[in-house]
Structure 1
Amino acid sequence: MTPSQERNGRNAMAHRLRSPQDLAGGLLISVIALSGFWLARGWEAGTLAAMQAGFFPRLVCVLLLAMGLATMVRAVTADGPVAFGWAWRPSVAITVAVLAFAVLLDRLGLVLAILALIGIGGFAGRPLRPAPFTALWAGLATGCVAIFSWGLGLPLQIWP
């Protein structure tokens, strides 16, 4: 292959990829889905009539994988923004908030773990003023207690 043919081949590939940001997002979603499949590999799925522990995680992974593939197809079919740098602060804030919620749920209870989740997650963007922060916390805590503790009867500790 001559150098001009090689350059033309690379240019053709660059023209086919119309949205690098969609490609990166689709790859990330697909990797998360495939990781979920791998983590749930030992769980029995059962059938639609008799679901077991692995049914819902696999269903979520199938849907995630479908969305990731659709997003990657969009990268070659629709124009989109170019891929920019990684937003580290929101990524770290959301990750730390979810981990703090998981650690604090048993120790402090659902209501205070949600408070920590919202407080730490607030560092991902603009901080909320006190009134919207309190409204968000109260609404989310009330909804979670109503759904998970009262509605589903899960044995969650609500307060410390």
Structure 2
Amino acid sequence: MISNGLSGLMGLGFAPLSFLLTTPFWETLYLNGQLSEPLFSFYLERYINQPLINSSPGGILTLGGTNSSLYQGSIEYTNLTFAPSFWILNVSSITVQGKAISVPTSSNLAVIDTANTLIGAPTSMISDIWAQVPGSMALNGSYTGLYAFPCNTSITVSMSFGGTDWDISPVDMNRWRL
């Protein structure tokens, strides 16, 4: 029986983020030399317009390496920005619809988190990003912070954390499909 409001979620952050103040499973394996490489990787399944999600695992976590059947291209290794807690990286560039968006060095941090699909940024930067998407508009009320755009608009976005521009799929820029 799990108590204290824990849900059984296996965190991929570092020990300082642990609710129980314990070393995470993946880090314990690493510290005990039980990983073939000091790596872990994950693949997240995409479910869009699928009424039932019964036929696939939802994602795959690989401890001690990568699963090359789940990605294409090369892996870019980047140093973490702060002492281990969250997986925090510097964003060096963002391009939207082919136009570079200014990334101020005072607010260029990104947290990589498998439990969250949102990208946070200063309000001025968010406005600059969505200004590149024709017909987009800021929402309000309980949707404050989100934007809407015409259904027939395909949004192209890429981000760089050091050298490689990583494309974000247009389907991942749309939270709800109607």
Q: Same fold (TM over 0.5)?
A: no
Q: Larger relative contact order (C-alpha < 8 A, sep ≥ 6)? A: 1
Per the normalisation by structure 2, the TM-score is: 0.21
Q: Which has more radius of gyration?
A: 1
More strand per residue: 2
More helix per residue: 1
Per the normalisation by structure 1, the TM-score is: 0.23
